[in-house]
């Protein structure tokens, strides 16, 4: 059983994606549960999330979180009775709620419910964020298909980034771009869920470039990453990654196994500090740990990761696109100077950069 959050900015395509998820994975033999978007249910029932009544707003948001948790827990109990693989997809999750209030109120609400942001994120195996059409696909942005949606373009872009920030510490957050063809966006959703379910996928190269940062990245999320490779079997790669964001560290063990037909099975597991330290004793003696600073950001509807390497190589900056189709152009920001396209160049894979000279 896997629990997955499908979230995103306004007019991102979640409704269509949910229909496709049910159709696709039901046909593969999965039982799919969809937990509805609780704030929409509350709005339809009379909750006013734009109220100036602070007490009303607080009680409404606290109740939103409590009902979200209750729905997820009840559907989990139901799923445990089913003798077939099960997916629970949440139309938005608990951390989405935090994006619509000040951090002080969110901390008070979670304490009142007896939980924390860290515990809430840990409830889900993956979080898929669909970028709002307001960022990079403005011609498709509309409020007509949701009576509860009132955002203008600028507010929609702002809320999009706040939701990403709320989930940014989740180890399996995937941000799914807008595309020239909407079907490409939906297919990316299906591919990412297949990855979570460990269904073999064709190896797809993300585009990579050596770049120079020439200006400030607006609204970037910055994290510190240490990546260590462990000894592994042929045709497989095992790595430990410690990612520190806002003072909180998350450890993930990733195994990649390439099958003879070039399909790849990727398994990711979040691990605690004790297991992390224990596994570090299995570090590949022929490779050094990689240390880098990562800045993630959205530009014109496309999601990017900029890695600035500190060790073992320094002064190297690699920009990686995430989920841009082969035929699409990359919307390079003005604060990025492209030095070289290194897509597919194996010498720039982290696994090879870590090799001791």
110: helix, strand or coil: helix
Provide the residue-wise pLDDT of the chain in tens; the chain has 357 residues: 999 999 987 666 788 889 889 988 987 889 999 999 999 999 999 999 999 999 999 999 999 999 999 999 999 999 999 999 999 999 999 999 999 999 999 999 999 999 999 999 999 999 999 987 555 445 444 444 444 444 556 776 788 889 999 999 998 999 888 765 677 788 889 989 988 998 876 666 789 999 999 999 998 989 999 999 999 988 889 999 999 988 888 898 998 888 887 777 778 888 899 999 999 999 999 999 999 999 988 888 788 999 999 999 888 999 998 767 666 789 899 999 999 999 989 999 999 999 998
Alpha carbon 342 to its chain centroid, in Å, reads: 24
**What strands, in cross-sheet order, belong to the sheet with 336-341?**
201-202, 263-271, 248-258, 236-245, 221-230, 290-299, 302-311, 316-322, 208-213, 336-341
| Number of C-beta neighbours around residue 219 at 10 A | 15
Tokens of 63: 């109740």
Tokens of 32: 């799919």
Q: Compute the distance between CA of residue 327 and CA of residue 226 in angstroms, rounded to an integer.
A: 33
Q: Compute the distance between CA of residue 74 and CA of residue 216 in angstroms, rounded to an integer.
A: 46
What is the residue-wise DSSP string for 35-97? E--HHHHHHHHT--TT-S-HHHHHHHHHHHHHHHHHHHHHHHHHHTT-SS-EEEEEES-GGGG
Identify whether the C-beta of residue 256 lies closer than 8 Å to the C-beta of residue 237.
yes
The b-or-e profile of 242-261 (16+ CB within 10 A means b, else e) is bbebeeeebbbbbbbbbeee
Q: pTM for the whole thing?
A: 0.73
Q: Compute the distance between CA of residue 31 and CA of residue 263 in angstroms, rounded to an integer.
A: 25
Tokens of 351: 């696994």
| Number of C-beta neighbours around residue 166 at 10 A | 25
Q: How many alpha carbons fall within 13 Å on the CB side of residue 68?
A: 27
Alpha carbon 30 to its chain centroid, in Å, reads: 22
CA-to-CA separations, 205 to 131, 136, 326, 342, in angstroms, rounded: 21, 22, 9, 11
pLDDT of residue 140: 44
Which domains, from first to last, does the chain contain? 2-197 (3.40.50.300), 206-354 (2.40.320.10)
pLDDT of residue 141: 45
Degrees, nearest 5: CA angle 167-168-173: 75
pLDDT of residue 238: 95
Q: Compute the distance between CA of residue 5 and CA of residue 125 in angstroms, rounded to an integer.
A: 8
CA-to-CA separations, 3 to 40, 42, 98, in angstroms, rounded: 20, 22, 19
Alpha carbon 19 to its chain centroid, in Å, reads: 20
At residue 292, φ and ψ (nearest 5 deg) are: -150, 160
pLDDT of residue 135: 54
Q: Compute the distance between CA of residue 280 and CA of residue 351 in angstroms, rounded to an integer.
A: 16
Three-class SS string for 255-300? Answer: EEEECCCCEEEEEEEEECHHHHHHHHHHECCCECCEEEEEEEEEEC
């Amino acid at each position: 059983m896997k629990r997955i959050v499908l979230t995103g900015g306004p007019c991102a395509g979640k409704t269509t994606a949910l229909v496709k998820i049910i159709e696709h994975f039901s046909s593969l033999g999965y039982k799919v549960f969809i937990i509805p978007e609780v704030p929409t249910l509350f709005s339809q029932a009379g909750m006013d999330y734009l109220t100036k009544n602070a007490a009303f707003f607080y009680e409404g948001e606290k109740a939103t979180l409590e009902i979200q948790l209750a729905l997820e827990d009840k559907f989990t109990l139901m799923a445990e009775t089913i003798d077939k693989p099960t997916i629970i997809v949440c139309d938005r999750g608990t951390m989405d709620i935090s994006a619509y209030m000040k951090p002080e109120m969110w901390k008070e609400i979670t304490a009142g419910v007896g939980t924390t942001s860290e515990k809430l994120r840990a409830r889900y195996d993956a979080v898929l964020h669909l970028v709002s059409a307001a960022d990079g696909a403005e011609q498709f942005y509309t409020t007509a298909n949701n009576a509860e949606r009132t955002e203008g373009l600028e507010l929609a872009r702002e809320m999009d980034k706040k939701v990403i920030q709320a989930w940014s510490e989740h180890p399996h957050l995937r941000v799914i771009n807008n595309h020239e063809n909407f079907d490409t966006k939906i297919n990316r959703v299906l591919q990412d869920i297949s990855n979570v379910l460990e269904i073999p996928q064709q190896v797809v190269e993300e585009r990579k470039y050596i770049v120079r940062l020439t200006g400030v990245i607006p609204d970037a999320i910055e994290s510190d990453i240490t990546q260590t490779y462990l000894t592994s079997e042929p045709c497989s790669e095992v790595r430990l990654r410690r990612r520190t964001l806002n003072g909180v560290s998350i450890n993930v063990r990733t195994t990649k196994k390439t099958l003879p037909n070039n399909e790849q099975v990727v398994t990711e597991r979040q691990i605690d500090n004790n297991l992390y330290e224990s596994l570090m004793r299995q570090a590949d003696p022929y490779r050094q740990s990689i240390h880098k600073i990562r800045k993630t950001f959205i530009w014109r509807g496309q999601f990017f990761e900029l890695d600035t390497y500190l060790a073992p190589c320094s002064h190297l900056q690699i920009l990686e696109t995430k989920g841009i189709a082969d035929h699409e152009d990359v919307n390079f920001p003005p604060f990025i100077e492209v030095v070289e396209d290194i897509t597919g160049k194996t010498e720039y894979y982290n696994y090879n950069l870590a090799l001791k000279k």
